[in-house]
Amino acid sequence: LSDSLALLCSHGLGRLLGVWLLETLQVRLSSSVVPEFWSGLRQPENELEERDRAGVLLAAFRTLLDRLEPFLGLEKLGLWQEAGRGGLNGPGPRALQDRAFTTIRALLLFSPPAVLQERVLEFYSRTFSVYMNREGGEDGSEAPEGPDGAACPGCAVPAPRCWCQEALEQLQDLSLIRARLQLLEWVSSEAVTSILHRLIEQRMEQHCRGEYERSFLLEFQEQWLELVLGWLGKVFASEGDGDAAETAPSAPGVHGSKPGGSVLKQWRCHMHQFFCRIYVNMRIEELFSIIRFPESKPAIEDLKFCLERTNQRQQLLSSLKSAFESRLLHPDMADSRRINSHIREEESKQSEEEQPPLALSAIILSSEFWPTLKEEKLELPAVVCQAMEAYTRRYEKLKAMRTLSWKPHLGSVTLDVELEDRTLTNLTVSPIQAAIILHFQEKTREDTVRQIVAGLTGDAEACNDLASELSRGDPVTLEMQDSDDEGNDPEDWTPDPTDAVPKLGSKRRSSDIISLLVSIYGSKDIFIDEYRGVLAERLLHQLNYNTAEIRNVELLKLRFGESHMHYCEVMLKVHTSDILTVYISAIKALRELDPSMVILQVACQPIRKYLSWTLEELSVKLGAPKELVHRKLAVWQQHGVLREEAAGRYSVLETGSSREKVDRGVMLIDSDEERDSNTTTQSEQREEKLQLFWAYIQAMLTNLDSMTLERIHSMLRLFVATGPVVTEMDINELDAFLQRKVREHQLIVSTGIYRLP
């Protein structure tokens, strides 16, 4: 080969020479060198000893170098010659050399089998750990000096067989060979990168995780980086050296004066970047626990620094958000707010129909630690009870083996009250107040419909006005009448012009009480059904047939329409058929004649009557004492929502802005809440405590028959020393208490000695 080269050279065919050289190289590489290299590498497949594998790797590379050495030498020759010719041939010597190496790389690593990566990785990690051990050993912390037989921490084999030194030498060799072939970066960078990444991750895991009170940035930069760079230096510096040795004679300055240095710098950058990224990743994971502000400041500073470099802010935010969501709503953290939001979240996952009817949240108390809360009975509206039950169920699911008991009278309710002519928004009231007002809203008060029907049919003494209202006729006639001129003959009525301002509408609506009632209850069917029931009862119980019923049916027919009253009509017809028509015509005539049936109050008094409650009724309904209800009612009176009428009835003041002020002045006197504390008073607590003592005293006297005051006192101090309620008890106080018991005949005292009766 050398000869032919010389020959060619002598012919001055420098240009051809380059081409030929590359061709030969290619052929030789693909035919023998590459397969040999790979087989050399694969051959010891079944050998398990890592040390040997490392040796094989080295050997393979050595052979590779041997095989290619001539080319490299020759190349040099050619380069020299070409350089000597003053770079006549365009591309120049460097380009040729580059091409040669490119060819080698291309052929060799065209399809690098995994085994090479594996080997290289293994080898590097081994040497790395050896190196780290050596360097790190200086601190003495990482190299535990065990008794003989302990494994060498570097190479993980029993100490006597340690091959750390050997490995390091091998590393040196390998680096040199690769550098010679300019393969170093290609073969090893991947391995080196993964090793370093692993290292940083490990380190981070060991040192930084859970440790927020120290800044690791500096430490990292100063210690680890230096350490790692030392190793990297060993790996790559040889390249630098080799390169320098190689390039120095040929083309000084082309490669730069310190190639190794630049490579290291690059790596340093890379490492730094990588550190930041890993650091941020780790901190993001544990961000939630970092939030402990003053102590964790260093960690946060570090994080800030790294974030600036890694562009992971978005990731951080989303992670923190989900951390908050999962951690704060974690069932293990007993706090009503969290439980509330957890339950709210659960609820929101449900479909529309399953949604609870009420937005209920709760303050959940731990029973032993709160002062004794006043127990007051209060029947809450069904809807609230249901919501509470649902809440309890969810709570029980959330917290196994625990349950909730509600204090219905405690808490607060935010609500709006919408009245005919005004709306009170965002009132915050106590549950009992809310319950009161809800009762006034309750349309389904069982007996109201019956009452209304009774009123309509003229049975209830108090509400003849409804009956007369009914007898006024159908809604259409009614509307005609009440425009402005009430007493006028319907015949004179002329319709409003089509463009009339519809402001009269509301007045009209409110004037037609029955329509209003129907609209309140949503359907006239309720009334019709109720009337059917009433009618059936009456017809079955009254042997005397009452013609009033016919009248009622007829009137209701006018009101609700013939078809709706059909059933009732049939029911009546079963009894009589002939007199019916006679009466009906008579009644019709009568109605037209009697003006008193037509002229009626326009105000909606009757409705209020049926939507009103007495204090007693409310108190029963709410299961709360009357005084309390009365006290709480005052708020609604102040707001002008409710009004006290005669006979202690309360009703809704639909349109009352004008009167409101007057009422308010009165009501303010009744303003309550003055002693509305929810915890038991001190005297009550005292009483409770004394009751506890009494139990002890009774037990003592049962056992010991009789005791003096001093004895009782000292015994009590001995036994009743713990517990949240019990405080020091004065002997005078005890004396007074015992005297009281004596007066109540629960205790007998004679000559200073107490005994049970």
End-to-end CA, the chain:
132
Identify which of residues 316 and 438 has a Cβ nearer to other proteins in the complex: 438
Does position 484 interact with other proteins (CB under 8 A)? The reply is no
Binds other proteins (CB under 8 A): choice among 354, 369, 447, 570: 369
Collapse the DSSP code of 401 into the 3-class scheme (helix H, G, I; strand E, B; otherwise coil) and give the result: coil
Residue pair 701/707 in contact (Cβ under 8 Å)? The answer is: yes
d(CA 652, CA 373): 33
Q: Taking each helix axis as running N to C, give the angle between helix 446-456 and helix 525-541, from 0 to 180 degrees, rounded to the nearest 10.
A: 70
The pair of structure tokens assigned to 17 is 């020479």
Q: How far is the CB of 431 from other proteins (least distance, A)?
A: 7
Residue 440-459 contact track with other proteins, rule CB under 8 A, x = bound:
xx------------------
Q: Which residues pair with 749 in a beta bridge?
A: 754
Q: Specify the stretch interacting with other proteins by CB under 8 A; choose among 111-119, 155-163, 365-373, 740-748.
A: 365-373
Identify which of residues 424 and 715 has a Cβ nearer to other proteins in the complex: 424
Does position 437 interact with other proteins (CB under 8 A)? The reply is yes
Does position 287 interact with other proteins (CB under 8 A)? The reply is no
Identify which of residues 188 and 433 has a Cβ nearer to other proteins in the complex: 433
The tally of CA atoms less than 13 A away on the side-chain side of residue 450 is 6
Does position 260 interact with other proteins (CB under 8 A)? The reply is no
Identify which of residues 162 and 720 has a Cβ nearer to other proteins in the complex: 720
Mention every residue, 6+ apart, whose C-beta is less than 8 A from residue 626: 615, 616, 619
Buried b (16+ CB within 10 A) or exposed e, 671-683: ebeeeeeeebeee
Identify which of residues 67 and 374 has a Cβ nearer to other proteins in the complex: 374
Binds other proteins (CB under 8 A): choice among 67, 105, 272, 407: 407
Does position 645 interact with other proteins (CB under 8 A)? The reply is no
Q: How far is the CB of 638 from other proteins (least distance, A)?
A: 16
Residue 427: enclosing H or E segment and its boundaries?
strand 423-429
Identify which of residues 107 and 398 has a Cβ nearer to other proteins in the complex: 398
Binds other proteins (CB under 8 A): choice among 276, 404, 513, 716: 404
Q: How far is the CB of 339 from other proteins (least distance, A)?
A: 9
Mention every residue, 6+ apart, whose C-beta is less than 8 A from residue 691: none
Identify which of residues 3 and 332 has a Cβ nearer to other proteins in the complex: 332
Residue pair 409/676 in contact (Cβ under 8 Å)? The answer is: no
Q: Specify the stretch interacting with other proteins by CB under 8 A; choose among 170-178, 363-371, 527-535, 585-593.
A: 363-371
Identify which of residues 198 and 402 has a Cβ nearer to other proteins in the complex: 402
Determine how many CB atoms are found less than 10 A away from the CB of residue 428: 10
Does position 416 interact with other proteins (CB under 8 A)? The reply is yes
Pick out residues in 315-334 that bind other proteins (CB under 8 A): 331-334
Binds other proteins (CB under 8 A): choice among 21, 167, 208, 652: 652
Does position 603 interact with other proteins (CB under 8 A)? The reply is no
Identify which of residues 194 and 341 has a Cβ nearer to other proteins in the complex: 341
Backbone angles phi, psi at 749, to 5 degrees: -125, 135
Binds other proteins (CB under 8 A): choice among 361, 386, 680, 685: 361
Residue 38: enclosing H or E segment and its boundaries?
helix 34-42
Question: How open is the CA angle 742-743-746, to the nearest 5 degrees?
Answer: 45
d(CA 708, CA 711): 5
Q: Specify the stretch interacting with other proteins by CB under 8 A; choose among 158-166, 184-192, 426-434, 745-753.
A: 426-434
Backbone angles phi, psi at 9, to 5 degrees: -60, -45
Q: How far is the CB of 327 from other proteins (least distance, A)?
A: 14
Distance from chain centroid for Cα 730? 52
**Number of residues lying near other proteins (CB under 8 A):** 55
751 sits in the region (left: phi over 0; alpha: psi -120 to 50; else beta) called: left
Binds other proteins (CB under 8 A): choice among 11, 265, 402, 659: 402
Binds other proteins (CB under 8 A): choice among 181, 388, 390, 633: 388
Identify which of residues 438 and 548 has a Cβ nearer to other proteins in the complex: 438
Identify which of residues 39 and 414 has a Cβ nearer to other proteins in the complex: 414
Residue 548: enclosing H or E segment and its boundaries?
helix 547-560
Q: Specify the stretch interacting with other proteins by CB under 8 A; choose among 24-32, 244-252, 271-279, 430-438.
A: 430-438
Binds other proteins (CB under 8 A): choice among 163, 275, 406, 754: 406
Identify which of residues 438 and 749 has a Cβ nearer to other proteins in the complex: 438
Residue pair 452/559 in contact (Cβ under 8 Å)? The answer is: no
Sheet bearing 613-614, strands edge to edge? 613-614, 649-652, 642-644
Does position 568 interact with other proteins (CB under 8 A)? The reply is no
Does position 410 interact with other proteins (CB under 8 A)? The reply is yes
Instruction: Return the closest-CA partner of residue 558 out of 529, 536, 587.
Output: 587
Residue 20: enclosing H or E segment and its boundaries?
helix 14-28
d(CA 554, CA 425): 44
Does position 224 interact with other proteins (CB under 8 A)? The reply is no
Q: How far is the CB of 148 from other proteins (least distance, A)?
A: 39
Does position 360 interact with other proteins (CB under 8 A)? The reply is yes
Q: How far is the CB of 676 from other proteins (least distance, A)?
A: 15
Identify which of residues 297 and 399 has a Cβ nearer to other proteins in the complex: 399
Q: Specify the stretch interacting with other proteins by CB under 8 A; choose among 51-59, 437-445, 538-546, 711-719.
A: 437-445
Mention every residue, 6+ apart, whose C-beta is less than 8 A from residue 715: 696, 700, 707
Identify which of residues 244 and 365 has a Cβ nearer to other proteins in the complex: 365
Does position 30 interact with other proteins (CB under 8 A)? The reply is no
Identify which of residues 307 and 434 has a Cβ nearer to other proteins in the complex: 434
Rounded-to-10 torsion of CA 347, 349, 350, 353: 90
Q: How far is the CB of 729 from other proteins (least distance, A)?
A: 21
d(CA 342, CA 331): 8
- Count the residues in the chain: 757
* Burial label, 234 (beta-carbon count in 10 A; 0-12, 13-18, 19+): middle
Q: How far is the CB of 501 from other proteins (least distance, A)?
A: 26
Residue pair 182/101 in contact (Cβ under 8 Å)? The answer is: yes
Collapse the DSSP code of 708 into the 3-class scheme (helix H, G, I; strand E, B; otherwise coil) and give the result: strand
Binding site for other proteins (CB under 8 A): 331-334, 358-370, 373, 384, 387-388, 391-392, 395, 399, 401-408, 410-420, 426, 431, 434, 437-438, 440-441, 611, 641, 652, 654
